Chains A and B, each alone.
Chain A
Amino acid sequence: MTKQNGGGHPAWPPLRALDRLLEGLARITEWACHALLLVIVGVTVMQVALRFLLNRPTSWSEEVALLCLVWFGMLAVALGVREHGHIAITALRDALPRVPALALDILAELLVLTFALFLMIKGGDLVSLAGAQILPASQLPKLWLYLPASVGGALMALNALGNLLLGRWSPPVPEASPPEALT
Chain B
Amino acid sequence: MSVNDVATLILLGGFLGLMALRLPIAFALGISSLATAWYLGLPTLMVAQRMVNGLNSFTFLAVPFFILAGQIMTEGGIADRLVRLADVLVGRIRGGLAQVNVFASTLFGGISGSSVADVASIGSFLIPAMRKRGYSPGYSVAVTVTSSVQGVLIPPSQNMIYYALAAGGLPIGKLFLAGYLPGFLLSAILMAICWIMAVRQGHPEGERYTLRRAASIAVEALIGLFTMVIIIGGIVAGIFTATESAAVAVVYALIVTFLVYRSMDAAKVMTVLRGTLRTVGMVVAIIMTSSAFGFLLSYLKIPAMLTDAILGVSSEPVFVLLMLNVLLLVLGLLMDMGVLILLVTPILLPIATSVGVDPIHFGIIMMLNLGIGLCTPPVGTSLLVGCAIGGVPVERALKDFAPFYLAMLAVLLLVTYLPVLSLGLPALLD
A contact residues vs B (CB 8 Å cutoff) = 1, 30, 33-34, 37, 40-41, 44-45, 47-48, 62, 65-66, 69-70, 72-74, 76-77, 79-80, 83, 85-93, 104-105, 107-108, 111-112, 114-115, 118-119, 122-123, 125-126, 129, 145-146, 148-149, 176, 178-183
Residues of A within 8 A of B44 (CB): 118, 122
B contact residues vs A (CB 8 Å cutoff) = 18-27, 30-31, 34, 44-45, 47-49, 51-52, 55-58, 60-61, 64-65, 68, 114-116, 119-120, 151-152, 159, 240, 243-244, 247-248, 250-251, 273-288, 335-339, 374, 378, 381-382, 384-385, 388-389
Residues of B within 8 A of A179 (CB): 116, 381, 384-385
Q: How far is the CA of A119 from the CA of B289 in the complex (A)?
A: 11
Residues of A within 8 A of B335 (CB): 89
Cross-chain contact B48 with A33 (CB below 8 angstroms): no
Cross-chain contact B21 with A92 (CB below 8 angstroms): yes
12 contacts between A and B (CB under 8 A): A44-B247, A48-B240, A69-B64, A73-B288, A74-B55, A76-B278, A86-B27, A87-B286, A114-B31, A123-B48, A182-B336, A183-B116
Cross-chain contact A149 with B248 (CB below 8 angstroms): no
Q: How far is the CA of A181 from the CA of B21 in the complex (A)?
A: 21
Q: How far is the CA of A80 from the CA of B251 in the complex (A)?
A: 27
Q: How far is the CB of B247 from chain A (nearest CB, A)?
A: 4
Q: How far is the CA of A41 from the CA of B253 in the complex (A)?
A: 12
Assuming the contacts A44-B243, A47-B244, asked whether A122 and B336 have C-beta atoms less than 8 A apart, the reply is no
Q: How far is the CB of B255 from chain A (nearest CB, A)?
A: 12
Residues of B within 8 A of A45 (CB): 247-248, 250-251
Residues of B within 8 A of A119 (CB): 30, 48, 51
Q: How far is the CA of A47 from the CA of B281 in the complex (A)?
A: 25
Q: Which of A90, A148, A178 contacts B22 (CB 8 A)?
A: A90
Cross-chain contact A73 with B24 (CB below 8 angstroms): no
Closest A residue to B31 by CB, please name it. A115
Cross-chain contact B151 with A76 (CB below 8 angstroms): no
Residues of B within 8 A of A88 (CB): 19, 22-25
- Which has the most chain A C-beta neighbours within 10 Å: B26, B274, B281, B388? B281
Residues of B within 8 A of A92 (CB): 20-22
Q: How far is the CB of B126 from chain A (nearest CB, A)?
A: 15
Cross-chain contact B24 with A182 (CB below 8 angstroms): no
Q: Which of B49, B244, B381 contacts A48 (CB 8 A)?
A: B244
Q: How far is the CA of A74 from the CA of B22 in the complex (A)?
A: 22
Closest A residue to B273 by CB, please name it. A34
Q: Which of A41, A90, A126, A182 contacts B337 (CB 8 A)?
A: A182
